[in-house]
Structures are given as C-alpha cells and as structure tokens.
Amino acid sequence: MNPLISVADLATALASARPPLVLDVRFPPSSAGHAAYQEEHIPGAVFLDRDAVLAGPPGTEPGPAGGRHPLPDPAALQEALRSLGVSADHPVVAYDEGGVPPGGSVSRAWWILRWAGHPDVRVLDGGFAAWKRDGRPTTVEVVEKQPGDVTVRPGALPVLDAAGAAETAATGVLIDARAAVRFRGEEEPLDPVAGRIPGARNLFYADTIGPDGRFLPAEELRGRIAEVVGDAGTVGTYCGSGITAAHLALAMTVAGYGTPALYVGSWSEWITDPDRPIAKGPAT
C-alpha cells in the first residue's frame, strides 16, 4: 500500500460511506499547532499533540528513554490513540502543515502508528498547505469521536538503539537526516553537542520534497536515495531526536526500499553517553 494519499483521493475517501479517521498533527509548537487546528482544519479531523502522544518525556540518561523524543510508553500511547478514535480495522490519514521544508511531525505519526502495529496509515502528501491550495473545504467544527479499540503492539517496524546505530554505520549505511551543517558539526541549534555518529552518511530530509511541498516522484526518490545507500543491505536512519529520521523512513518506503530501521533516540540520545565517539567535518 502506498503510504501517501493525495488531496483528491482523501476528499473522495471523506465523502465515502466509510471515511478514514483524519489526524491533524500540525506542529510546532504544540500550543500553536492546536491554535491552528482551532482556526481551521480538514472537516472531521481530530487534533493529535505530537509531543504528548507520539513521544515519551525527554530523558538525559543513555537508553531507550533518553533523548528529546524517546518512544512513548505503549500503554499511554494506546490510551491516547483510543481517545482519538483510532481503531485497528479503520484506516487513518494524518497531516501536518506541509510546506517547504516540511516539519516532519506527520511522518513521526505515520511511523509511530505503524510501529505500534496499525496496518493502514497514510500521510496526506503536501499536508494542509496542499489541501488549502487545492481549494478544499475547512472547518472550525470539532467532532467528538467515539473511542477506538486499537491495541498497541510495539515492534512492527525495526528500531535501533545506540549500539545498533553504530553497527549499522560500520557495516551498512546509517543516514543522518539533518542539514549538512549539523551533520558536519559546524552548527547545532538544538542539542548541547555538535557532530555526528562516526560512519554516518548524510541525506537532508527536505531534499526528498519538491518545491510544491509534496514528495518527489518515486523514481526520482529512488535515484536520490541510491546515491547515499548504494547497494547496502542494512540501512538505518537518525536525526536530532527521531522526528525527521521518520520522514526519511517514509521517503524510503515511498521509493520502494522498504522501511529502514530507525534510531529513535538519535543524536540527542547518542550524546547522553560522553564515551560515545563523535565525528565532525566532511564525510570521508
């Protein structure tokens, strides 16, 4: 199944007898995202708070709870998703603000729901910006959804820890989704330490998006990704905190590569252990 859905196809699906559940994941920050939702949103959509639902509390210690956006607790995730109306046998479509560069929140929603075992999750290609540009209707009406029955079963998508990320960088390809200046360690606006995981390669996540805010065609995506991945059998992605790395995972899925393993803790978890090595400068 194509993980993307076009504006036209979503409009058709919403007019059908069995419309998908639509999740508005606009961010940042959460308060501004919710304010944008209150001002207007796709009819029938419910607001999902990215940091409250799709991540656990930030952690400063090494391990699965470390980093700025660690994995959410499965029980808490299940409760939140059910409260939004998510059910296992009902399709879900998620969107964020769209635009260039994309924020990555909707990709995180797609990845977390797929990791949690939901079989039918798609992303609105181009986001809310594409919906509005196409002249589609919006509303301020908030619809109360019936509670869903989804059961969170973690592990449906592959996950890397720090050791796994280092091994992937050494024996396969570990792709850093951050901008090149952060990859090279020249700038670091979000984390206290600059640099990258040694052996990683760089593909800025926004380079998978066209000027209209939609993903590049699958063939063009494959070519762009192939320049970084080559013929590697094992591929993983990471970024600053596991948000835009999910975007690269989505892009690789769209391109037909399959979904790579994701280092959820990413750079913000890597640097919680001062003994872990750090690389800077151009890739060699």
Using omega within 30 degrees of 0 as the cis cutoff, is the peptide bond preceding 101 cis?
yes
Indicate if 90 and 200 belong to the same structural domain. no
CA separation, residue 90 to residues 22, 95, 149 (Å): 11, 17, 10
Q: What is the mean pLDDT of the chain?
A: 95
Place of tokens 């969170």: 152
Kindly state whether residue 173 falls inside one of the protein's structural domains: yes
Kindly state whether residue 35 falls inside one of the protein's structural domains: yes
Active-site residue, selected from the candidate residues 84, 169, 239, 249: 239
Indicate if 177 and 79 belong to the same structural domain. no
Neighbours of 12 (CB within 10 A): 12
Instruction: Pick the last residue of a domain from 98, 133, 168.
Output: 133
Q: How many Å apart are CA 110 and CA 116, to the nearest integer?
A: 10
What is the domain-level CATH number for residue 191?
3.40.250.10
Using alpha carbons, select from 270, 282, 281, 116 the residue that is nearest to residue 197. Answer: 270
- Structure token pair of residue 76: 């808490």
Kindly state whether residue 266 falls inside one of the protein's structural domains: yes
Indicate if 121 and 241 belong to the same structural domain. no
Tell me: the pLDDT tens digits for 237-262? 999 999 999 999 999 999 999 899 99
Indicate if 12 and 120 belong to the same structural domain. yes
Indicate if 127 and 171 belong to the same structural domain. no
pLDDT score, position 30:
56
Using alpha carbons, select from 54, 213, 187 the residue that is nearest to residue 130. Answer: 213
Indicate if 29 and 110 belong to the same structural domain. yes
8 A C-beta contact, residue 70 and residue 64: yes
pLDDT score, position 31:
60
Tell me: the pLDDT tens digits for 271-282? 999 999 999 999
Indicate if 120 and 165 belong to the same structural domain. no
Kindly state whether residue 278 falls inside one of the protein's structural domains: no
Kindly state whether residue 284 falls inside one of the protein's structural domains: no
Task: Give the range of the structural domain holding residue 205, as residue numbers without chain letter.
Answer: 159-270
Tell me: the pLDDT tens digits for 5-14? 999 999 999 9
- In the chain, the number of structural domains is 2
Instruction: Pick the last residue of a domain from 133, 151, 167.
Output: 133
Let me know if 239 is a catalytic residue: yes
